[in-house]
Amino acid sequence: MKAYLFPGQGAQFSGMGKDMFDKSELARDLFEKANIILGFNITKIMFEGTEDELKQTNITQPAIFLHSVIMAAVMGGTFIPQAVAGHSLGEFSALVAAKAMSFEDGLVLVSKRAQLMQKACLLTPSTMAAVLNVDDKIVEEICSRVDDIVIPANYNSPGQIVISGTINGVETAIKLLNEAGYRRILPLKVGGAFHSPLMQPASDELQKAILNTKFDTPVCPVYQNVSAEAVSNPELIKSNLVLQLTSPVLWKQSVQNMLNDGYTEFIEVGPGTALQGLVKKTDASAIVSSAIY
């Protein structure tokens, strides 16, 4: 069985979506609709913007969302999902692709999410770091020993976990990991502590928007970040989406559950190939590929 995967923040690149715009009338219509909804010409930034422009959270998130959902749309009849999952931001793309909510509502939520996350980042200096080749339990135990806020935020694959928290919290956790003999730790160039309690102000505001958005039963199960479980109930989808900003992304667990449920082929829809790599690290026998439209 096939599962479609949708990437999150970090997959952006200058020129993203231009080929679809040039080749597909449907893509052009959706990009133009996005410009109107957002109130600025995001397509120009996606097609011609600099790396720094594309790194701005209020640009990055809707840009990746648009690339992913428009790609799924232009695939037409070849896009027949039996399951979907998205990494962090990608969960919104997955929900739109699975027809749990409309393109318009999804874009509005993603734009609001980006603005609220950026605002939350300014409240408390915070950061994230990738910890490599360390058992999850060890990372969890070390984070629990830090007095400041720091938690495991992304369980990406076996041997890859991301921690998130205040600058002091993350630096202290890194120091403790180093003292324990673990050296492969990479500070990430991000604006804040995503998927941690420091995102609570953003989550509170986003909750209002999510609860006021119409969700339908998706055409296939959605493996959500918060639970790593297949979900089809619209109310449960909304509840999990509300919790997503302050909860860890259980990506490794989601992939493992999909594998256990019989999904053997994983197709990444959107910019980049990062999720394919994470699937392969979870199970080397899995079949992975990029979407073709």
Domain with CATH 3.40.366.10 in the chain: 2-121+197-290
Task: State yes or no: pLDDT of 146 exceeds 90.
Answer: yes
Q: What span, in angstroms and rounded, lies between the C-alpha atoms of 221 and 237?
A: 10
144 is a catalytic site residue: no
Q: Report d(CA 42, CA 240) in Å as an integer.
A: 28
Domain 125-188 in CATH: superfamily? Malonyl-CoA ACP transacylase, ACP-binding (3.30.70.250)
**How many Å apart are CA 151 and CA 223, to the nearest integer?**
22
Active-site pick, 67, 87, 93, 195: 195
pLDDT in tens, 15-40: 999 999 999 999 999 999 999 999 99
- pLDDT at site 5: 98
Task: Name the percent of the chain lying above pLDDT 90.
Answer: 90
pLDDT computed for residue 39 by the predictor: 96
Question: Residues 189-221: pLDDT tens digits?
Answer: 888 899 999 999 999 999 999 999 999 999 999
Mean pLDDT (whole number) for 141-151: 97
Residues 177, 182, 186, 188: is their CA dihedral positive or negative?
negative
Pairing state of beta strands 2-6 and 265-268?
parallel
Angle between helices 103-123 and 90-97 (to 10 degrees): 170
pLDDT at 76: 87
pLDDT at residue 196, as a whole number: 96
Is 11 a residue whose pLDDT tops 90?
A: no
CA distances from 78 to 67, 90, 95, 161, 194 (A): 17, 20, 18, 34, 34
87 is catalytic: no
Catalytic residue from among 67, 68, 87, 88? 88
Of residues 186, 171, 136, 170, the one with CA closest to residue 10: 186
The CATH architecture of the domain made up of 2-121+197-290 is 3-Layer(aba) Sandwich (3.40)
What is the band of 279 on the pLDDT scale with cuts at 50, 70, 90? very high
Domain(s) of CATH 3.30.70.250: residues in the chain: 125-188
pLDDT at 49: 92
Confidence (pTM)? 0.96
Does residue 140 have a pLDDT over 90?
Answer: yes
Cα angle 51, 10, 70 (rounded to 5 degrees) comes to 90
